[in-house]
């Protein structure tokens, strides 16, 4: 039986909640709501169970009510398409997170600030004109852009 928004709202009143233990309310196609007792009430997390290369795996779609039932179903449908295309959702999520972290550490702003600290005598001075110009004019547009040195220099 499909979940309804009312069932999600009232999950803490479900018969299984009387035991005070975690339980799952299933929707369909691998989507379920994990309901756990918390010190300040009941926590509700959307989970999607899928099988990839013969192994059962699980991924989170957020918490209820921040992520609505409709949003969770939309995420589930998109995830099912990715699994059908041969994409492991967990590994894909890790790769995206790693890529974002790498871009953040190699951004134009980070590298410029490191260069300034090493090469410019009064870089930490709030009156440093070069630093102010970068902060006002360049960093808002180019600061978060990935920067990589070309290792393949030809002479």
What are the structure tokens assigned to 144, written together? 């978060």
- DSSP H stretches of helix in 1-155: 5-9, 69-84, 89-105, 108-119, 129-133, 139-142
**CATH class of the domain defined by 5-87:** alpha beta
Per-domain boundaries in the chain: 5-87, 106-142
CB neighbourhood size of 20 (10 A): 7
- Quick one: what percent of the chain has pLDDT higher than 70? 92
Q: What is the pLDDT of residues 1-43, one digit of tens each?
A: 688 988 888 888 887 877 888 899 999 999 999 999 888 888 9
The one-character DSSP state at 150 is -
Residue pair 144/107 in contact by the 8 Å Cβ criterion: yes
User: How confident is the prediction for the chain on average, in pLDDT?
Assistant: 84
- Quote the pLDDT of residue 91: 86
Q: Give the whole-angstrom CA distance, residue 76 versus residue 83.
A: 10
């Amino acid at each position: 039986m499909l979940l309804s928004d009312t069932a999600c709202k009232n999950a803490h009143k479900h018969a299984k909640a009387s035991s005070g233990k975690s339980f799952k309310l299933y929707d369909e196609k691998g989507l379920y709501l994990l309901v756990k007792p918390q010190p300040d009430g009941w926590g509700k997390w959307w989970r999607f169970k899928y099988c990839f290369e013969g192994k059962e795996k699980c991924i989170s779609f957020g918490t209820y009510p921040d992520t609505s039932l409709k949003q969770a179903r939309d995420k589930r449908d998109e995830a099912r398409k990715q699994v059908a295309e041969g994409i492991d959702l967990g590994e894909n999520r890790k790769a995206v997170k790693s890529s974002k972290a790498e871009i953040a550490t190699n951004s134009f702003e980070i590298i410029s600030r490191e260069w300034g600290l090493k090469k410019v005598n009064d870089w930490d001075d709030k009156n440093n004109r070069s630093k102010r110009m970068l902060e006002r004019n360049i960093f808002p547009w180019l600061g978060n852009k990935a920067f990589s040195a070309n290792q393949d220099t030809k002479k």
